[in-house]
A and B are shown apart, each in its own frame.
Chain A
C-alpha cells in the first residue's frame, strides 16, 4: 500500500477506494453498512446512555445503562474477593505487568538472568498473595472470581503450557522410543477431548481416583486440566517450529560439542519458538477465551459473573450492557496480546531486512 509520490488526499482516495467500478461499488457498500450500524450504536451506547446513578431507577433514557456496569464493576473485576484484601490482587497483577516490561523494552535485555529468576519465582509469590497464609488472611478460592479469576486461569495455563509444550514436543521427536510413545499418547489424548470434558473430568471424575482423605482444591484441579489441555496444543505448535529448524543447525551444535540440552536451549529452541510466535499467541488467545468454560464447574470467571449479574432480579434487562462489557474486556486483552506478539516477531527477526530498516 505504498502511497504515490506526489500524493494528495484526493489522489489517495482515487487510488485506493475508487480505482475500478467494482472497487467503487464495494466502497459504497461499505459506507452504507457503516451508516446502518454506527449511528444507532453511537446513539444507544453513548448519546442516549445513562452514566450516573446507583440503581436501575436511574436508567430511564432508553439508551445503554452503564450504571449497571459501574455498580457491578468491583464484582466483575474481583468476584467475591473481600474488599479489604483486593490490594493483594492489584499488587499481584501489577507485579506481572512489571515482569512483562522486558518483552517490550529491548534495552532491559541485559538483566535477562534476573528476569528469568523473577519469572520462576512469580507463581509462588502470586499464589501467596492471592491465597494468603504466612501472615496474610486466607481467601479461599471459592471467593475468587471475575476478571481476576480469568487472569489466574489463563495466566497459569499459559505459564504451564509453554514449558509443558516444549518438553512434549521435544519428547515426541526423541530418539528414545519410550519417551516418544509416552509424549505422543499424552498429546493425542488431550487434544482429542473438548475442554469442557476435561473440566468435567477434573471436577467430577478426578476426586473418585484420589486416595481417601486427599482433596484438591476445585480451582487447582481446573488449573491442572487447563494446563494439560493447552500444553498438548502448544506441543504441536512448537513441534512445527522444531521441524522448521534446518538439520544443519543441530549438526553444527553437535560438532561444537554442545550437549543435547545445550543444543536445544541455545540453538534449536530460540529459533523454533521465534518461528512459531504467531501460533503460540494463537494458543494463548484461545486459552484466554476458553477460560469462560469454567462456569460449568461452578467457577465464576469474568463472563460467568457478568452472566450472574444480568440475571439477578434487581438488575434484569441489562444483558446487552453486561455482555458488551465482557466482550470489550476480552477483546482489549486479546488484541493486546496479538500486538505484543507482532512486536516480538519484528524484534527477533535477524534477517537482512532489519539492517535496512535501521539504516
Chain B
C-alpha cells in the first residue's frame, strides 16, 4: 500500500483550558475524499487547520505526505506548499485582481516566472469557469464567483491535498450550486480532499468516507453509504436527522 496523504496520530489540542481536539486518529489515503461534519463547535475547522499548521497541536503526530508537522519552519513551509485551503469567507486579496490573486503565491513561493504563473492561473480560472473575470477585482464579483476564484487560487499552487472549510456556508442559495459543481469536478479529477461541509447531497455524491465529530472527538468514521443508511452512534443519527430535515 502506498503511503497515506495525511495521518493524524493521537492528536490533542487545547485553546487555553478548552480541549478542542481529543485523541484524533485519522488517515487520509491518496485521492481519497473525506467529508467532515458535526455540530457547531465540535472542532471541525480546528482539525483541518491543524493539518497545514494554521493552528499548532500540542500532542500527537501529524504527518503530511511523509513530512511530520513540527515547530520546524521548513517542515511547515513544505507542507503548506502541498496543501491548498479554501475558506468560508473566501479571503481573496481585495487589492489584487483575480489573476494577481492566483499568481501571487506561485511567483512568491514557487518562484515561477510571471508568464508561466499567469498561464497556470488562466488554466485554473478556466477550470472554475471564470476566465473572463481575470482582470476584475474581488470586490466586483459575486460570492459564488469569489469562492470559485479562491479555489483556483489554491489550485495554482498545484497542491496534493485540498482543504475546504464550509466553502458554501457564506453563499446565497442560488450560488451554492456553482461552487459545488466545481468541487465535484475537482473530486472527479482525483484530488485528495478534506471537506468540512453540511451539504449532505454533495457528501453523498463525492465522499468516500464521512467523519463525524462531536465535542472535539471523532465519533464516527464510516464509508459514505453506510453513514447515510445507518449511523452507528445516536449523536450522529440526531445530527443527520436535523440536517436532512431542512
Contact = CB atoms under 8 A, between A and B. Distances in A.
B246 interface: no
A257 B54 contact: no
A252 B140 contact: no
A251 B150 CA distance: 13
Given A257-B77, A257-B105, A271 B94 contact: yes
B202 interface: no
Contacts of A246: 89, 91
Nearest to B109: A257
A266 interface: yes
Contacts of A351: 94, 137, 139-140
A108 to B, nearest CB: 18
B144 to A, nearest CB: 15
B77 A252 contact: no
Query: Which of A252, A266, A355 is the most central at the interface, judged by chain B CB atoms within 10 Å of its CB?
Result: A252
Interface string B75-111: 0010011011101010111110000000011001100
Interface residues of B, number: 28
A350 interface: yes
Contacts of A255: 52, 54, 80, 83-85, 154
B95 A348 contact: yes
Chain A interface residue number, banded: 20 to 34
B35 interface: no
A163 interface: no
Contact of A266 (B80, B85, B104, B153): B104
Contacts of A34: none
Give chain A's interface secondary structure class. Answer: helix
A351 B136 CA distance: 10
A257 B95 contact: no
Interface in A250-272: 251-259, 262, 266-267, 270-271
A351 B139 CA distance: 5
A266 to B, nearest CB: 6
A348 B95 CA distance: 8
B104 A251 contact: no
Contacts of A257: 77, 80-81, 105, 109, 157
Contacts, number: 71
Nearest to B53: A254
Contacts of A256: 80, 104-105, 109, 153-154, 157
A264 to B, nearest CB: 12
A350 B95 contact: yes
Given A251-B54, A350-B137, A350-B139, A258 B91 contact: no
B95 A251 contact: no
A266 B105 CA distance: 10
B95 A274 contact: yes
B109 A258 contact: yes
B95 A259 contact: no
Contacts of B138: 350
A267 B93 contact: yes
A248 B105 contact: no
B83 to A, nearest CB: 8
Contacts of A251: 54, 87, 91
A271 B93 CA distance: 9
Contacts of A270: 95
A249 B93 contact: yes
A350 B92 CA distance: 12
A159 B225 CA distance: 65
A352 interface: yes
B94 A352 contact: no
Given A252-B93, A262-B108, A352 B140 contact: yes
A248 B54 CA distance: 11
Contact of B140 (A259, A267, A348, A355): A355
A351 B157 CA distance: 26
Query: Which of B94, B95, B150 is the most central at the interface, judged by chain A CB atoms within 10 Å of its CB?
Result: B95
Contacts of A254: 54, 80
Interface of B: 52, 54, 77, 80-81, 83-85, 87, 89, 91-95, 104-105, 108-109, 136-140, 150, 153-154, 157
Given A249-B91, A252-B150, 15 more contacts: A248-B87, A251-B91, A252-B91, A252-B92, A254-B54, A255-B83, A255-B154, A257-B77, A257-B157, A259-B77, A267-B104, A271-B94, A350-B139, A354-B137, A354-B140
10 contacts: A248-B87, A249-B91, A249-B93, A256-B80, A257-B157, A258-B104, A262-B109, A270-B95, A271-B93, A350-B137
Interface of A: 246, 248-249, 251-259, 262, 266-267, 270-271, 274, 348, 350-352, 354-355
